[in-house]
Structure 1
């Protein structure tokens, strides 16, 4: 097979690129996908009990007019809009998100501990060299100990001191002592922070519905169950493990960058291989637990965070609140979707994780103990690449790998293709593909992704 543009991966970035190529009048392209389905980490699945599950707690919000218009077209009005309601479970109680903005809900002694830590004299004044030090420098020892350090280790499966903090941007709410004291004294919550304060969700089919619809537009160009084995940049060919050989002029890779630069590329050198080895990531195990509502106390929460060790998961989503059609019997059932990270820093026994997840739901008051044997479904999946970790070596690795790839006619974009978590949301990922396609056809500059 021979095409002008070859795309590796049929996730949000690859599908966004393919769709935009076609919109711009280009039909000489192909998409290789190693799995039998499209959507990547944004795919959704329906289990035998009729419950729909995502691979993690995705919500749809946007920074782009193009993405908004695309969603409107794909979903054709068949979506729900939500006001975010998220909470943190800590110290035996529930604290509205962002935690550091709402510590007034903590027990008195812990509340004071957090306030004390915010006094300048109690915070390290040296310029931070990593994410852990940044937490201590900005929030002090109280909030760091109670929430930010343990939670970030649970979600990243990486010690905060081994991460940089340039990725933070709009991801972490930074507060001042005055606003914390005002919240406590006036008994006012601050829950409006963040770009995902409002979000949309498909009425049916989970998040994957978006990308099933997008894939339909370029279905003739998608080749599933084709795992890349080799990329020869000099010959401009890609060979798959299944024996397919594709000639191309330009290549967009949306698969993990460390695989491309460290294993697949024939022209990799020692520096590139070393840089690829310096990139780090975690994996994520997702457990879906479904049950009849019966006398279970209903709540309006969207999702909840768990920094403590009484549950293995770092986040649980009330998936039944995203859309009533995520359960088999709308309105009469509950769906808890729980995420647990793992890595060499934080190994997890996946054989026991489902039972530990159910126990964690009990420990955190989301599930009554007598309902443990009364569950309708237990669904699980595990992905080896969950989050690209902004480790201390990341930026240097990207500066080594990405320019060399582009000199070879290879562009690597997307959540793991670009390896920049700060532009790894769903809208960012789609737009990285869109902007690459526009660069190829219209010679315009990409705006979302940069390794510099």
Structure 2
């Protein structure tokens, strides 16, 4: 996918990239070139597609990337103090043998494997994730409220029409109030009643009253749920190291600093803001689908423009707070933590030094706390105030002592316009207009924002959407991860 839309925030450290992969490729500016396969965006999907084309013996392809580095939303950055940061808390886990083999070839032994340890901060208590399976950690009143909401007759029986109603029907009013409702609003920056629930699948652990009661009475923890209960992470360079190495394999086929501004499907040409025109036979777009339809696509039908206007997304602010570890302090083993409550702006904090000690400037001696806050028209935020509010939230959440605020060594920040595609109520209908319309024009749009399906936008999903597009183009094999039905 394309690189993030970022805003320079004066309070933050200069956003120095970690070993920027991209060299400024201006040799084709002001000229027209031709390629068989054109790919917009050198993120996970675009790079996956290009890599697979090469494996299949296709050399006539070109990738256009608006930034001067590869990786898109999976890029990593090093700040002026030597700390490495991702654009949010990425972890590597997989549903695909091909993806596993690709990671093996890219990283080899230069990665770490972790058992997930994640927690929820609720009612001034730490509750192991999944919250609904571990409510025994809550204060007694809140614990009872969660159990009471699960008892027969206390959950709605009517089929849910939106995500908010699904939460009430599955979890009851207690768990909804103490975690599901406030957390989901914080992460999506969208009221749950404006979202559908068909995307959930393996991403949300549903609740079992018998299990909840057993865990309370027998004082058992239930923490192994989910596809990412174990995950891997690069030893050096953050998540972006994966895609820097993948881009290196495609040297000479990626044009950096080329921002698309027009696509003419009739003449099969793409023009960039920098004056490059590319004629293509087949086109894969991994940039945001709404931008493609509303801004780039020449003579787009009104129905497609209207449909694109119904797609919604949130934006994400990422704050990196780095400081020295106190010599005698016990190591915090947690990977990441969720924050449904209002005493912090962020919805998630990652102990990024636990992913790899090399994410800190002095490995093993420093803490790297990576915090994520969402915003949208439903949940506006002043990004210029968010770093100070983030630090206050770390103190309020007992992750940082108040007397250590002055010890902070680095405050890195990035605002990403397109954070997550929201599965809003109108999404599926909009996609049913947009994707077949693009197919009829000979264009496929895939990836987190190219496809706009959150349920298939993990890192492995995103790479495989590109891989499967390449296989479809060359061998005619149907795509499996992203389908139009």
**TM-score, normalized by length of structure 1?**
0.99
User: How far apart, CA to CA, are the structure 2 residues paired with 1:111 and 1:76?
Assistant: 45
Could you tell me how far apart the structure 1 residues matched to 2:411 and 2:199 are?
35
Give the number of equivalent residue pairs: 452
Alignment of 1:42-61 (within 5 A): 42-61=74-93
Deviations 1:109-137 (A, max 9, x none): 00000000001311111110000000001
Backbone CA RMSD of aligned residues: 0.7
In the alignment, the residues of structure 1 paired with residue 135 and residue 56 of structure 2 have an alpha-carbon distance, to the nearest angstrom, of 51
2:337 paired residue number = 304
Aligned partner of 1:106 in structure 2 is 138
**Cα shift at 1:297:** 4.3
Rounded to whole Å, the distance in 2 between the matches of 1:139 and 1:451 is 31
Unmatched segments (≥5 aa) in structure 1: none
1:153 equivalent to 2:185? Answer yes
SS in structure 2 of the partner of residue 381 of structure 1: strand
Structure 1 residue runs of 4 or more that deviate by more than 4 Å after TM superposition: none
SS at match of 1:225: coil
- Counting only pairs closer than 5 Å after superposition, residues 183-222 of structure 1 correspond to structure 2 as 183-222=215-254
Taking the TM superposition and a 5 Å limit, the aligned residue runs for 1:112-127 are 112-127=144-159
1:286–1:340 Cα contact (<8 Å) kept: yes
C-alpha distance in 1 between matches for 2:322 and 2:179: 28
Q: In structure 1, how many angstroms separate the alpha carbons of the residues matched to 2:65 and 2:463?
A: 16
**Counterpart position of 2:406:** 373
Q: Does 1:446 align with 2:485?
A: no
Displacement, 1:394?
0.3
Residues 271-316 of structure 1, C-alpha deviation per residue, up to 9 Å, x if partnerless?
1000000000001000000000015442100000000010000000
Task: Write the distance in 2 (CA, Å) between the matches of 1:108 and 1:451.
Answer: 48
Does residue 420 (structure 1) correspond to residue 453 (structure 2)? The answer is yes
Partner of 1:334: 367
Cα shift at 1:451: 2.9
Name the counterpart of 1:90.
122
* C-alpha separation in 2, matches of 1:306 and 1:219: 42
Query: Distance between the aligned counterparts of 2:448 and 2:163, measured in 1?
Result: 20
- The reply to whether residue 284 of structure 1 matches residue 324 of structure 2 is no
Match of 2:196 among 161, 164, 178: 164
Distance in 2 separating the partners of 1:244 and 1:65: 37
Unaligned stretches of 5+ residues in structure 2: 1-32
Q: Which of 266, 272, 275 is the equivalent residue of 1:240?
A: 272
**Out of 355, 360, 368, which is 1:322 matched to?**
355
* Local SS of the residue matching 1:154: helix
User: Is the 1:314–1:339 Cα contact (8 Å) retained in structure 2?
Assistant: yes
CA contact (8 A) 1:395 1:451 kept: no
Q: Deviations 1:77-100 (Å, cap 9, x if unpaired)? A: 100000000000000010000000
Deviation at 1:262, TM superposition (A): 1.4
Distance in 2, matches of 1:343 and 1:377, equals 27
After superposition, where does 1:9-20 map in structure 2 within 5 Å? 9-20=41-52
What SS does the aligned partner of 2:85 have? strand
Mapped to 1, the partners of 2:123 and 2:321 lie a distance apart of 24
Measure the CA separation in 2 of the matches of 1:143 and 1:67: 36
1:394 aligns with 2:427: yes
Which of 24, 28, 32 aligns to 2:60? It is: 28
2:207 is equivalent to residue 175 of structure 1: yes
Residues 362, 368 of structure 1: 8 Å contact kept: yes
SS in 2 for 1:2: strand
- Structure 2 residue matching 1:340: 3-state secondary structure: strand
Provide the rounded CA distance (Å) in 1 between the counterparts of 2:484 and 2:147.
38
CA offsets, 1:59-88, max 9 Å, x none?
000000000000000002100000000000
Tell me, what secondary structure is at the counterpart of 1:242?
A: coil
Q: Which residue, 99, 105, 129 being the options, matches 1:67?
A: 99
* Secondary structure of the structure 1 residue equivalent to 2:99: helix
Structure-1 residue corresponding to 2:306: 274
Distance 1:124 1:375 in 2: 48
